[in-house]
């Protein structure tokens, strides 16, 4: 009797373990699918000007690119946002006073995320674009005036 009772307990434990393993796999599979349907995006708002020669230390990773593309002497990080974009759910950030940016994940392919980016000033779209952002690529949107310089938005996706 004792042996049979012990065996039944072992069977129950095995069944429970098996069930938990299956549940774990199912959960992992669906969490992977869910995770694959979102894109982490890094957005930085940079003020570029010719006043002084200050380079913000937090921009050291893009300073070389900025220096090769633009003739500004000073770059200052105004704001940084790390967003998780979900399909068709717009994320809005205040870019700088009077303007805000709306970013929407409109498509997710195997190697790139399709983002719709709108820069809105006083209710008017001063920019409406759709870009295909792959890992390692940075999209710089610049031009809007800010103080004595201009503002540059740096957008990159991290898959």
Partner 1 sequence: MKNSCSTVSTVLEKYFDQEVTDEEKLLVEGHLQECPGCRDALKSMEEFRILIKAPVEEATQKEDFPWVWQKIERGIRQQEKLTWWQSFRSWLDVTPLFKKRVWIPAVATVVVLLFVTTQIILKKTPSYPEVSVVEYIESQSDNVMVYQLEEPKVTVIWLFEGPEEERTTT
Q: Which residues bind partner 1 (CB under 8 A)?
A: 10-11, 14-15, 17-19, 21-22, 24-25, 28-29, 32-33, 36, 48, 50, 64-65, 69-72, 110-112, 114, 119, 121, 124-145, 149-150, 159
Q: How far is the CB of 109 from partner 1 (least distance, A)?
A: 8
Residue with tokens 């200052």: 76
Q: Please give the backbone phi and psi of residue 8, each rounded to the nearest 5 degrees, phi first.
A: -60, -40
Q: How far is the CB of 69 from partner 1 (least distance, A)?
A: 6
Retrieve residue 115's tokens.
Answer: 């983002």
Distance CA 86, CA 40 (A): 9
Q: How far is the CB of 157 from partner 1 (least distance, A)?
A: 10
Q: In the complex with partner 1, which residue's Cβ is closer, 18 or 52? A: 18
Q: In the complex with partner 1, which residue's Cβ is closer, 84 or 121? A: 121
3-state secondary structure (DSSP) of residue 104: strand
Short-list 62, 29, 33, CA closest to 45: 62
């Amino acid at each position: 009797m004792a042996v049979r009772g012990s065996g039944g307990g072992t069977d129950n434990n095995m069944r429970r373990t098996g069930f938990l393993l299956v549940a774990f796999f199912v959960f992992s599979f669906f969490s992977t699918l869910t995770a694959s349907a979102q894109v982490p995006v890094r957005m930085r708002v940079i003020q570029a000007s010719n006043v002084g020669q200050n380079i913000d230390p937090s921009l050291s990773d893009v300073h070389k690119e900025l220096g090769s593309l633009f003739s500004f002497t000073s770059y200052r990080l105004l704001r940084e946002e790390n967003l998780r974009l979900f399909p068709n759910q717009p994320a809005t950030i205040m870019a700088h006073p009077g303007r805000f940016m709306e970013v929407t994940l409109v498509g997710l392919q195997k190697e790139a995320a399709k983002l719709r980016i709108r820069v809105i000033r006083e209710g008017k779209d001063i920019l409406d674009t759709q870009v295909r952002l792959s890992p390692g690529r940075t999209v710089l949107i610049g031009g809007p005036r800010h103080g004595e310089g201009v503002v540059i938005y740096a957008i990159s996706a991290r898959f």
